[in-house]
Amino acid sequence: MRPFRIEIPQADLDDLHRRLAATRWPADLPGVGWARGVPLEYLKELTDYWRTRFDWRAAEARLNAHPQFVTEIDGTDVHFLHVRSPEESATPLLMTHGWPGSVAEFLDVIGPLTDPRAHGGDPADAFHLVVPSIPGFGFSGPTREPGWDIMRIARAWAELMSRLGYSRYIPQGGDFGALITLTLAGLDAAHVPAAHVNFLVTPPPDDPRALSTLDQPDLAKLGRLARFLADESGYMKLQSTRPQTVGYGLTDSPVGQLAWIVEKFKEWTDSAKVPEDAVDRDHLLTNVSIYWFTATAGSSAQLYYEVGDVLPTAARPPSPPPPLPTPLGVAVFPKDMSQPVRRFADRMFPNIVHWREYDRGGHFAAMEQPELFVGDIREFARQLPR
């Protein structure tokens, strides 16, 4: 394992600023808002902020405040943060991001999770954190060969935790991180006493009579998933079929990369008018900048291609995961694009021991509602035998 520091060359920063200043803008239709994509006026203002006021060096220093490493697993480099708690009896917690996320998603929760004593909490709730970048994403990218699907990533995570000397750990994740977490819990059950997710897709059973028993809140949850599949999943179709083609434009144009990501922060968060209603602007741009500086827009999209045959569509509901041998905790945030239905979840995972539905927050829970996110993980872990 090699110690790692993020040190983006000044020439790359200068190149970014030149590209932003030279952006060739498309026309915009008046009065359509976000209905057809990111509005021109909003994106121009955000681009100007990225170029003239966003401080990447401050973001870089914030990331580098935590110990980082790179190790080769199964032929690819895996970058990860490894932040040990001052409490020696802390529980190891492996947290995995998704798309279009990164390790930066967790910056606001690292301190409270690893050192609750210093943040007004109970030291018994402490965790040792391992926060990897998915192969092909950020500083774990790009991958060198095809085949990096969910199962292969889960195997790599099991190997990573073994190399770090953790014989017992809890995996946690959202988005792709949730799929990796659930797969890892089954794959490495001997070392995983439980798993926690803040993203879960619960397709209805084939029997249509099951829908007739749902109340209005549950029907609304299915409606949210249907709206995502019908209107918000175009990116998924593109990235699961032609990730290489998508990658050219996103790797060459920082404004293209910005728009591709910021649209999801608008649609999937608890925002009213703009993404910054839910997520701090500098935090959002830190995440976008990681994709830009590492040129991993295309390589991160490859994961969609690898799992394309199981991704849900408007005509094909998501495939249920295999049975999970370990206890599961689920945190549900109301503005996420997937709103799980508890009775369907119980059929898929009969060992759910923790389920909380919150009144605010969305897909990027650790960024949007860090206190709720931390509290939910703590509450879940307290139920588990030490």
Q: What are the residue numbers of the active site?
A: 175, 304, 363
Q: Which residues contact 98 (CB under 8 A, 6 or more apart)?
A: 134, 173, 174, 175, 176, 177, 178, 199
Q: Report residue 385: phi and psi, to 5°.
A: -65, 140
What residue type is 232 in one-letter code?
Answer: E
Instruction: In whole angstroms, give the CA distance from residue 214 to residue 374.
Output: 31
Number of residues assigned to the chain: 386
Instruction: In whole angstroms, give the CA distance from residue 26 to residue 40.
Output: 8
The 3-state DSSP class for residue 46 equals: helix
DSSP string, 345-366: HHHH-TTEEEEEE-SS--SSHH
- Rounded to the nearest 10 degrees, the angle between the axes of helix 254-267 and helix 243-252 is 110
Q: Which residues contact 3 (CB under 8 A, 6 or more apart)?
A: 67, 68, 69
CB 185 within 8 A of CB 330: no
The 3-state DSSP class for residue 140 equals: helix
CB 313 within 8 A of CB 233: yes
Instruction: In whole angstroms, give the CA distance from residue 182 to residue 159.
Output: 16
CB 250 within 8 A of CB 305: no
Instruction: In whole angstroms, give the CA distance from residue 77 to residue 118.
Output: 33
